Amino acid sequence: MTTVPTDVLARTVALACRAPSYHNSQPWHWVAERDGLHLYLEPTRVVQTDPTERQALISCGAALDHLRVAMAAAGWQAQIDRCPDPRNENHLASIRFTEMTAVTDEQRHRAEAIATRRTDRLPFAPVTDWAAFETALASRTDDAVALVDVMDDADREELARATDLTDVLRFYDSTYFETLQEWTAPFEGSDGIPYDSLVSATEGERVDVARSFPLSHHPDRRPQIPADLSTILVISIHDNKRRDLLGCGETLSTVLLEATAAGLATCTLTHLTELATTRHLVEKVTGHRLPQVLVRIGEVPAHEHTPPPTPRRPLAEVLTIDL
């Protein structure tokens, strides 16, 4: 392996940590050693309502793919060995790098999408040319890693009903609501979901497939879109193993960056796959037995104010350099 300069590693790991994570918990830790870069699940960052670590693993997979994209834009190709140590299940990946002879504009553009991506919980307008986007996305995803299904209008109605059912099933779940409150507390920090990214009651009423967060009190935003007309994708896996969940996160990253690079807005959703009852409903819609993540994709008004990026933990907390 050619040694990657420390400043390049630091810069690309920081960019990789822009990946989305469950409640912005950022459950990853990177260790740079002489033999390469290693990704670990950080157990202390696993959210209480994620007892199987499923969502933490998906989050780490998204960060892993973000790293691959960021390194390519910096001129380094990543060779990834996933789940390399059977004695340490938290060791999720070992990454070695070889220097590339050239970097394409497309590779740079995809890395730029990491920095501009946002989780947008407001309603979306429909994608103008969905067929073209779907074709481009299909060329970048691998069915052997994870399955990506596009929901039609009838499917969406079922997902909306499943969303309503989720709210009913969660009604008396005090642990769930305490966790939501903890990760959406209205003060600044390096993790959690910022108040500005939550929606008000009237805004939430215009999105039929969404997690119910504590309500904000913003003036009504994006009023020109009376109802969400996004297209919804569902990402499913083949087996319920850590490697599969990691691959789900990598596929999620691909979907989000492809959409962002195309100028589209996205919102990642996992509320429908957290409970067995609603997960089975999603299984019926997709025809696949292990759905994990949903993604809303759509357009937003041109020249709309871009919200600031959500906070991230300091690099010193997530990267250990031991060269």
Q: Tell me: the pLDDT tens digits for 82-94? A: 999 999 999 999 9
Residue 237 is predicted with a pLDDT of 99
Q: What is the side-by-side strand order in the sheet with 147-150?
A: 147-150, 231-236, 291-298, 265-269
Rounded to the nearest integer, the mean pLDDT of the chain is 96
Cβ neighbours of residue 88 closer than 8 Å, sequence gap 6 or more = none
Main-chain dihedrals φ then ψ at residue 146, nearest 5 degrees = -160, 155
Q: Residue 250, CB half-sphere, CA atoms under 13 Å: how many?
A: 23
Higher pLDDT, 97 or 305: 97
**pLDDT of 186:** 75
Name the pTM for this structure: 0.97
Angle of CA points 243, 245, 247, to nearest 5°: 70
In the chain, the domains with their CATH numbers are 6-115+310-322 (3.40.109.10), 130-298 (3.40.109.10)
Scan for tokens 């025809």, then name that residue.
287
> Tell me, what DSSP letter sits at residue 100?
-
pLDDT digits (tens, 9 = 90+) for 163-181: 999 999 999 999 999 999 9
Integer angstrom CA distances of residue 14 from 40, 96, 178, 259: 15, 18, 30, 21
Q: Is the pLDDT of residue 122 over 80?
A: yes
Q: Which of 84-93, 218-227, 279-288 has the lowest mean pLDDT?
A: 218-227
Residues belonging to the chain: 323
Q: 225 in the Ramachandran plot: left (φ > 0), alpha (ψ -120 to 50) or beta? A: beta
Mean per-residue pLDDT for 142-146?
Answer: 98
Q: Count the neighbouring beta carbons within 10 Å of the beta carbon of residue 279.
A: 17
pLDDT of residue 252: 99
**Is 148:141 a contact under the CB 8 Å cutoff?**
yes
Q: Which residues, in sequence order, are CB contacts of 312 under 8 Å at separation 6+?
A: 14, 17, 18, 26, 190, 191
State pLDDT tens for residues 42-69.
999 999 999 999 999 999 999 999 999 9
Q: Are 78 and 72 in contact (CB under 8 A)?
A: yes
Contact of 183 with 50, CB cutoff 8 Å = no
And the tokens for 287? 């025809």
Helix (H) or strand (E) holding 90: none
pLDDT tops 70 at residue 14: yes
